[in-house]
Structure 1
Amino acid sequence: MESFLVAVNAVIPFFCYLALGYTMKIRGVVKEEFLQKLNQMVFRVFYPFMTFYNIYKADAESLPRPLLLVFTGASILIVEAILIVIIPKIVKENPRRGVIIQAIFRSNFVLFGLPLTIAVFGDSAASIAAMMVTVVVSIYNTTSVFILEMFNGEGKSDIKKTLKAVAANPLLQGAIVGLIFFFLGIKLPGSLVTPIAAFSNMTSPLAIYVLGGTLQFKAIRKNLKYLVPTLTCKLFILPAIIIAIAYAFGLRGLELFLLIAVYATPVAAASYPMAQNMGGDGELAGQFVVISTAVSMFTLFLWIFFMKSVGLI
């Protein structure tokens, strides 16, 4: 019963935010154009506050072990390399290859992972999860660009453009500023910390609400042959493999759960506009985001319930 309650309490808030956003859209309370602009504001303004604050408030004893950071970064890169070899042998259409590879390795870690970790382990785990953002988001944003360009028919990658895009990422900018304040011991006055904390707390509910308002379930049937196997691998098979290997490397408790937050959360929402603008199958990319978000409400519950039941967390 305890395991069941932990899983329910962690997942239900996400479902409520999604359901409210979707309900407001279909009832005409909010329009698509407004949600798109609000989504840009959340990404460019609120996300940096969240990554900054979670690192700023950390204490030296809460830093993640180097083993966790190295394992996470190395595992993502290895998974990407394996997929680059395997997917082209299975999928014939070039625009779909990069989209499928991205859907399997790239998750919505910032949007779901941070608040999910706090829901299960409490506020003390927020700073460790925020530190993970710097590793995960850096790899995601850099490698996703190269992979999509690799399969866009041209085979060329603009390294300068890629590095510039990575440096301009608001999440990384917030995390870097947070790291500077953390390591230099810079303290802000309470009059500034209070609104920064408030903006940080607003980020996840607002972002998931917007995601719920932009969910669309059209034209899914024709892509089922790609959706079902890809998301089965993304939400079940790959997380199971990663957890087994991580356990063998000595990672435990919160560290194992953070890997679930990296690998078993929905496909990153940012993968959709990237695919649209870089020669990938934008429709398929959008369906990966929508379906994985809906299905993950149940799969994340199962993962949390399982890990709690067997004593992994």
Structure 2
Amino acid sequence: MIVLNALFPAFFLIFLGVALKRAGITNQTYLQQSDQLIYYIFFPVMLFWKIGGASFGGIDWTFCLVTLLILAVLFVVSTVVIHAVPISHFQAGSFSQSCYRFNTYIGVAVILNCLGAEGVALFGIMISLAIPLINIFAVSTLIYHSPKESSSGNRARQFGRALAANPLILGCIAGILYSKIFGEFPVFIDNSLSLASMFTLPMALLSIGGSLSFNGIQKNLKTSLLASGLKLVLMPLLGYGAYKLAGVDGLAFKVGMIFFCLPVSTTIYVLSSQMNSDTELASSAIVVSTILSFFSLSVALLI
């Protein structure tokens, strides 16, 4: 029942988002505005609230460093695969991101359902370290494989500035600082943040569903399955072994295994579009990994 209780609510809302978009109840304009509200306001507020009010000990640096190491290994593996298969320059950036970038919203939804606020707090700390590293991997690959005539340097500088002001990272850092300095929220602030955060995950999951594009799946199915295999099979296996060797257990082990089994983030489409990579492959990888992640997350929850 733990699998059904943790995963069904998240995937129900994702596929409800697909249905609402197909029925014309939501549209692209609504989804874009919803994404902006979630990304820049409500999700950072929720992370700040969950982390700032959580009663957890010091940061588990072994857990964090091992997790970052596995992400680095997957980046190296994806680079080797790009040259071994081979995958074209146009597809390389999208493929690379599909092998290690993760969907934060689904992660928080699943962890909140099965591990509670303390699990979300630990997840938030970990992603605040993982997001900068992943974006460095993604942008470096996109720049390396971009057309020579494109202004890769300008794009990299713009993206670097955006990364420094990433609202999810800022929300996590603010939560950590608040937790260390104050430890808990006054009731009226706690109630206000709770109310503001209440619809964050439903909105985010509906938006994910509405953003899923099934165009180009047949054309890119093999490449998408290869990327999903690396993301949802190889990464969890490597992570499991690394955690066991490093002695990571308890809540950190559970959070880490869920993290490794998450589907690809929809943001790979945006970054691929901005830096001249294959958006059809990005869309296909998002859909395929989202569907297959039900099985990988089920295994993670049962371990």
**How much is the aligned-residue C-alpha RMSD, in angstroms?**
2.0
> Any residues of structure 2 matched to 1:103-122 within 5 Å, and which?
103-108=98-103, 110-122=104-116
What is the rounded CA distance, in whole Å, between the counterparts of 1:90 and 1:53 in structure 2?
45
Query: Which of 168, 174, 178 is 1:171 aligned to?
Result: 168
Aligned length: 300
Contact 1:235–1:263 (CA under 8 A) maintained in structure 2: yes
Q: Is the 8 A contact 1:142 1:162 kept in 2?
A: no
Does the 8 A contact of 1:22 with 1:215 survive in 2?
Answer: yes
Quote the Cα distance in structure 2 between the aligned partners of 1:122 and 1:294.
24
Give the distance between the partners of 2:249 and 2:183, measured in 1 at CA.
32
The one of 277, 280, 288 equivalent to 1:280 is: 277
Kindly state the Cα deviation for residue 26 of structure 1 after the two structures are TM-superposed: 1.7
Alignment of 1:219-230 (within 5 A): 219-230=216-227
Structure 2 equivalent of residue 127 of structure 1 = 121
Q: What pairs with 1:33-182 in structure 2 (closer than 5 Å)?
A: 33-61=29-57, 63-108=58-103, 110-154=104-148, 156-157=152-153, 160-182=157-179
Counterpart residue type for residue 176 of structure 1: I
Aligned-residue sequence identity (percent) comes to 24
Structure 1 residues 231 and 181, CA, compared in 2 at 3 Å: closer, same or farther? same
Counterpart residue type for residue 228 of structure 1: L
Cα deviation, 1:133-179, whole Å, max 9, x if unaligned, reads 21122222333222221221339545643431211211011112222
Paired position in structure 2 for 1:311: none
Contact 1:142 1:166 in 2 (8 A): no
Please tell me whether the aligned partners of residues 17 and 210 of structure 2 are also in contact (alpha carbons under 8 angstroms).
yes
Give the secondary structure class of the aligned counterpart of 1:268: coil
Post-superposition offset of 1:112: 1.7
Structure 1: runs of 5+ lacking an equivalent? 308-313
**Are residues 122 and 209 of structure 1, via their aligned partners in 2, closer, same or farther at CA, if it must alter by over 3 Å?**
same
Maintained 8 Å contact 1:114/1:126: yes
1:64-114 CA-to-partner distances (Å, cap 9, x unmatched) read 411101111222123213322342232241021121111001111x21222
Query: Which deviates the most, 66-75 or 142-151?
Result: 142-151
CA deviation after TM superposition for structure 1 residue 60, in Å: 4.5
Deviation for aligned residue 1:221: 0.9
* Corresponding residue number in structure 1 for 2:264: 267
Distance across 2 between alignment mates of 1:149 and 1:275: 11
SS of 1:135's equivalent in the other structure is helix
Q: Residue 256 of structure 1: CA displacement?
A: 2.2
Structure-to-structure mapping, 1:165-204, within 5 angstroms: 165-185=162-182, 188-204=185-201
Query: Helix, strand or coil: the match of 2:199?
Result: helix
Unaligned 5+ runs, structure 2: none
Tell me, in whole angstroms, the C-alpha distance in 2 between the residues paired with 1:245 and 1:69: 12
CA distance in 1, matches of 2:226, 2:136: 25
The structural deviation recorded for 1:269 is 1.1
Is the contact made by 2:10 and 2:109 (CA closer than 8 Å) also made in structure 1?
Answer: no
Q: TM-score, normalised by structure 1?
A: 0.88
Corresponding residue of 2:2: 6
